[in-house]
Structure formats: structure tokens, C-alpha cells
Amino acid sequence: GIPILAHWIFQYAFADTCSTIVSGAMIGRTSFRGDILYSIGITGFIYPIIGHWAWGPDGFLALMGSTGHFLPGLGQGFRDFAGSTVVHTIGGIASLAGAIVLGPRLGRVFRRDGGGPMPAHNLTLGALGTFILWFGWYGFNPGSTLSAVDMQGIGRVATNTTLAACAGGMVAMYFALWFGETKGKFDLAITCNGVLGGLVAITCPCYWVSPLGAIILGGVAGVVVYLGMLFLEWLRIDDPIGAVPVHGFAGIWGTLSLGLFACGKYGATGPTGADNSAPVAGLFYGGDVSVLKAQALG
């Protein structure tokens, strides 16, 4: 019952997000023409195909596990409520490809070679951007209920989104404080990326997890982002803003986390609320590994 134009503009924003993620990893090395070309590639061809796999009415991942479709014996389809994989992991992996192909920025010396990340241009603007993104996530995640009538679902999703962001930021902040190269000093850039990592991770399971689960999986995302930034530095891949750890690695973790933290109370979203006759249960809430398997396959 959703107007086609409303759904189109919603998906347009998702496709745009998937494309925009990539610009962060390729900053300082990509011409405007190059930016336009890869944006056409992602929004025109990559995102629509993968989006259809997971969200289309006949997408092979959406129908996975059902009779007559891909892996019928699995008994579970792939779930990604608002796009930890479909939007963020795809953008993160495209970012990784772009950063590898372009090589590091001029003058960039990696930690293994006696250098370190180049200083940020303006962390005030960076922090402001983080909060603008966080605000936008309340359209991204609660909007993915596709029904303003599902008040329970929207409230749960908005709460889980907030808690995961807070947990991701706090954990990343303290990891940088205790173990970072500037020991004893807070690192704003890593804190911001921790917030965003928590947001990316909760994007997939936000409809099906409890607030406690959201806090835990958001906190783990903060660790994933922090270690991911160190890993890319060790690999000598220049990702100026951490797009690959935040969107790629945290997106993968968020997608898998549904198989662990789905609380076994809520089913598929519908026009007026969740269909709770077939709730999704993760491994930590009395479910088996079937949901986790479907998520890993997806």
C-alpha cells in the first residue's frame, strides 16, 4: 500500500548513501569526473541489483530457504531491515576497492614505515557531520518500517538506533584513550567513527533486537571500527575517514549480529505492526544457528 513514488524516493536516498560512502575513502585523490562516474556505476547498476536480491519481492536472498528457491533446506531468508549489508557493506567494500586502486595520498607515510595518519583538516566540521548523519539515521532506520502506523516498531527502532550509537562511540573513545597512540588523550575522530560504526551495525537488526542487545552489539561495533582502522593502516591502505571499517566491517558485524541478538519477540514488519506469529530468534535468545547461517550466507 505504499505509493510507488514514496518508495522510489526512499530507495533513491539509500542508493545515494551507498555511493556517498565511497567518496570518504577516496578523498584527495579523485577528480570530480571520477566521482560522477563511480556514482553512476553504484547507483545505476550495483545497488539496484543487490538491493533487489535482499528486498525485491522475488529477490533470491529474500526468498532463500523457502520451497523452490535458493537453499530450501535452510528454512530462513536473509534479513537486513535497513541496510547494514545492502547499503553499508556494499559501500564499504566499494570504498576498499577504490582506496586500493588509487593508492595512498601524496606524502602519506604509514605507521609501519615510521609515520601515521595525516592530521584532520577540521575536526569540528567532522563532529558536526557525524551528528548530521546520526540525525539522518532516524529517517533511515525507523523509516524502514515503511509504515507510520507501526508505532511500536518505530519507537523500538529509534531507541535501539540511539543506544547502539552511544555504545559504539563510548567504547571506541575508551579504546583510543587506553590503547591508542596518544595514550591518555581522547581522540575525537575515533569517537565519531565509533558512533557511526554503532549506527551502521544496528541498521540491520534494529527491528528485532532488545535495547540491551542494541547496546552490546553497538559496543562491539566500536571495537570492530577501532581494530579495523589499525588493520587498514597495517595493510598500508589509505582510507582518510575510516569508511571501510565504519561501513564495511561494522556492516558485516551488524548483519551477523541479528543471528545472535534477535530477541525472539518480533516477526516481519507489516502495514500496522509486526507479524509476531513467526518471531525471529537469535542464538543468544533460544534460537538455533539457522538465522546466523542465513545472515552469513547473505
pLDDT for 186 beyond 90: yes
- End-to-end CA distance of the chain: give it in Å, rounded: 27
Q: b/e string for 269-287 if b means 16 or more Cβ within 10 A? A: beeebbeeeebbbbebbeb
Q: Does residue 298 register a pLDDT over 80?
A: yes
Question: For position 56, what pLDDT does the model report?
Answer: 92
Angle between helices 211-234 and 188-203 (to 10 degrees): 120
- Residue 181 confidence (pLDDT) above 90: no
Nearest Cα to Cα of residue 91 among 81, 99, 101:
99
**Considering only CA atoms, which of 295, 159, 290, 269 is closest in space to residue 218?**
159
Which pTM value belongs to this model? Answer: 0.96
Rounded to an integer, the average pLDDT of 111-132 is: 94
pLDDT exceeds cutoff 80 at 236: yes
| Residues contacting 119, CB < 8 A, separation 6+ | none
pLDDT tens for 150-162 read 999 999 999 999 9
Report which of residues 271 and 82 the model is more confident about. Answer: 82
